[in-house]
Structure 1
C-alpha cells in the first residue's frame, strides 16, 4: 500500500475524467476451490487496488462524481471470525489509510445503487470478469449477466486506462522489485536444468522463490521442453539431452506489481549449432525491439520491424525465401511467431486486460491488424514515457500449423516447406524482457537475466 495521498490524488484524477453519476468499483471476494471454506488464494481486483488500496475481501468503493462523496462499503469481522482469523483492524481505520472517511455496511450498497438507478443517475461500472461480481452487478443494477459487458462504462474504462498506463515512480520501484524476484527465479531454473530432472521439480522451485519473495507467481509457470506450445503448463516430462527448455515465469510481489520473463535453455548445457542459429535470430530480434522502443513510435511498428529481423534470419537459413518485407506484409513470418511482441505490465501481468485490449493496447491512430499472428498483438499503440511493456519475440516450429499451411498452400512464395521437415521436432525459443519507456528511449528494468548463449551456458555450468 502506498501513502494515503496517492489514493486521494488518483481518485481526484479519475473524477476529472467522468462528468456525472456514480463510479462503482467492486473488490473481489473469496472464491471456493471445492467447498466454501477452502478458497483459492485471495487476489484483490487491480482497479480497486489502484484507487482504494485495500487488499481485503468483499469491499466496494463508490465515488459520487457530483457531490465528491467517497464511501467504502464492507463489514467488520464478528467474534466467530476473530476466533478463526485473529484480531482484525476495523474497516474505518483501514479506510482512513487511503483517505476515505465514510464507511458503510456492505448491505447499504444495494440501497445506494437502487436509488441511483431509480432516479436515472448513471452508474459507472467496469466489465466484470469473475462470476461472483457478475451476479452481484446483476442484483445491484437489474442488468442481465449476459449484457453486463455491453453496459459497462466506456468513459470509466478509458479514464482508468489513461491513468494506469503511465506508471508513477513508486510503481516503477515496485515493478523493479518484482523483476528482481523474477531474476532469481530464472537463474535458479538455469542452474537446475539438466538431463534427468523432472520439469515439475524446477517449476516448483521457482514458484517457491516467488512465494518466498512475499507474493506469488504472476501467472501459472510455463516450463516445458515443448516450447512450440506457447502457453504450456504441463510439467510432467523429464529433461532430456538435446532438447530446449522454455521457461516463461514471473513474480507478483506483496504490492501486487508483476514481472514477466522468458528464457530458453539447452538441457545439455550447451546449444547445438542448429539451436544456436535459431537462438541468435531471436536474440537479435529482442535487441532490435528494445532499440526501436521509444516515445512517439507505435509498438505495432516495432513488432513489424522485429518480424522482419526474424524473417531475414530464417531466410539466411533457407527456411524462408523471397523478399522478406513482402513476406512480413503477407504475414508469412507468423508461421514461426504467431503472437505479438508484447503487452502492458503493472498490477496485472497483462496489465488492464480485463478492460479490453482494444482500449489498453490501441488508440485512435493505431488500430488492430486483422491478420494471423499480428492480430494477437496486445500492445500496438503509440508509446509514452512511463509505459512498462514486455519485449518477447520468439521462433516456434509448430508441426500442426506447418502441416496446415503446407496442405492449404499458404504463403508458399515465402516458406521453404521441404527444409522445414528438418525442424519439426525443434520446439520453440522465446526471449522476454520487461522494459520501461523513458523520455529518450527505453531501459530494461533491473538487472538483465543472462540472455546471450554464452551467458546462459555459463550460468548453467556454474
Structure 2
C-alpha cells in the first residue's frame, strides 16, 4: 500500500458523503496490558484504511464543503518530542506526516479541541462512528453543544449526524488491487506456517509447540503478529470452536485442528487445516474428513458473482447431513434431518465470513433483508466442519473427532481464486507431506 491508495480511499469517502459534510475518524490508543506496559499497538481498522498512519492517538478530519474544491484532509497527531521518542520510538509529527501521507493539513494533537470546533462549524452533516470510540463521542458531543450555544456568534452545528460505517463498510467490502496483493501475500505466509506445523507434528510434543512453529514462520516473513488467537486443538479440543489454551500434549492416533492466520500490513489471512498427529488418518477420521472436504469442494462450485454465501451453506448442510446419515451418526431421511436441523449438533457454525483488515471483516451479509450477492473484489472464507464431542451420544469410535477445513477465496469476474490452495488439504497430500517433510 502506498500513499496514493490511502488518498484514493479518502476521496472515495468524500464523494460518498452528502454535500457539505465533515467526517471524523479516530486512531486507536495504546491498551494497557498490565500496570505500566501495553499490548503491541494495532491501528484502528477504519483509520488504517483511510490513512496508513501507524501511530496512536490521532484524528483524521475530512470535509467536502464547497469551499474545498477537492475536499479537505486534516490530521491531528502527537507532536515531535525528543525525550518521549528516546523511550517509545520515533514519531512523524505534523510536518512530516502531512508531507509523507499527502494530507492537506496536519496539527499537533493538543490543538484538536480548538481547531475541531472551527472545522465542524457550518457543516450540515457530521459523519462519525458513534459508540466506536467513547472518548471521540465525548469530544464530538461537547463541541456540538458548544456550537449550538454559539448561534448568536453565527456558529452552526451540523443538523444531521450519520454513521460513517455505513459508507466505509461498503467500501471495505470490495478490495482494491493493492489490498488484494497484501492479502494474497498474507495467505501465502500462512500456508507456509501450516505446512511447517504439519511437518513438525509428532506424538509427545505439545499444542503450544505447533503454535510456536506457526508464529515463528509468520515472523520470519515479516508478519509479526497473528491476525487472531491461534487455535491448536488436538483430540477432543478440536471440538471447541475457539479453543486457544494450546497446552495439551499431542497423542498418537489423534487429529489436530489448527486455525491460524497472520496479519500483514493490517490485513488478515485465516486458514484451518486438520491432520493426524501421527501422519496417518485412521479409518473413522478418514471417513469424516472426506465428508468435510467434499462439502467444501461442493461449496466452491457456488462461490461466484451473483450467487450468495447462503446458497453455498445450504449445499454444505446437505452434504454433511447426508454423510453423517451414511455413517449411521444421524438417522432417517435427508429432508427430515435438514428440516429438524439435526446436523447442528455436529456442524453448528456458519460457512463463511468476510476477510480483510479484520479477520471477521466488515460488511453486512444481507441487504434489504435479502442475502447479499457476491461481487468481484470480495474476499471471504469457506470453512465447513464436523465436530463430534467426546461425550456425544454416538458410537465410541466417532467421539472426540473435530475437523474443519478453511480456505480464503477472492471473488473474480468469472468465479473465485483460492488464495490458500498452497496449504495441503487432501488426505493424500497431508499424509505425503507429513511423511516426507516437503
| TM-score where L is the length of structure 1 | 0.84
Which of the residues 66, 77, 80 maps onto 1:77? 80
Unaligned runs of 5+ in 2: 144-159
Q: Per-residue displacement from partner, 1:44-94 (whole Å, max 9, x unpaired)?
A: 011111111111111110112324221001122212123224654443222
Q: What are the superposed Cα offsets for residues 223-281 of structure 1, whole Å, 9 maximum, x if unpaired? A: 0111100010011111001111010000111x111111000111121111001000000
Q: Does 1:125 align with 2:128?
A: yes
Partner SS, residue 87 of structure 2 = helix
Which aligned pairs between 1:165-244 and structure 2 lie closer than 5 A?
Answer: 165-215=173-223, 216-225=225-234, 226-244=237-255
Equivalent residue of 1:428, what SS?
strand
Greater Cα offset, 10-19 or 120-129? 120-129
2:172 to 158, 164, 178: 164
Question: Could you say which structure has the higher strand fraction?
Answer: 2
Number of equivalences: 412
1:113-152 CA-to-partner distances (Å, cap 9, x unmatched) read 44577868543212555xxx32342243259xxxxxxxx9
Report 1:274-313 matches (<5 A).
Answer: 274-313=284-323
- The whole-number CA distance in structure 1 between the counterparts of 2:52 and 2:280 is 47
Aligned to 1:459: 433
Aligned to 1:146: none
Partner SS for 2:256 = strand
Secondary structure in structure 2 of the residue aligned to 1:94: helix
- Aligned residue for 1:405? none
- Partner of residue 382, structure 2: 391
What corresponds to 1:361 in structure 2?
Answer: 365
Alignment of 1:417-428 (within 5 A): 420-422=394-396, 425-428=399-402
Q: Is the 8 A contact 1:3 1:97 kept in 2?
A: no
Contact 1:392–1:431, Cα closer than 8 Å, also in 2: yes
The secondary structure found in structure 2 opposite 1:203 is: helix
Kindly name which structure, 1 or 2, has the bigger radius of gyration based on alpha carbons.
2
Contact 2:76/2:94, CA 8 A, preserved across alignment: no
Q: RMSD of aligned C-alpha atoms? A: 2.2
- Calculate the TM-score normalised by the size of structure 2: 0.88
Taking the aligned partners of 1:275 and 1:165, their CA distance within structure 2 comes to: 37
Task: Answer yes or no: is the 8 Å Cα contact 1:26–1:48 preserved in 2.
Answer: yes
How much has 1:314 moved relative to structure 2? 0.8
8 Å CA contact retained: 2:239, 2:402 = yes
Give the alignment partner of residue 257 of structure 1, picking from 245, 259, 267.
267
Q: Following the alignment from structure 1 to structure 2, what is the Cα–Cα distance between the partners of residues 395 and 87?
A: 49
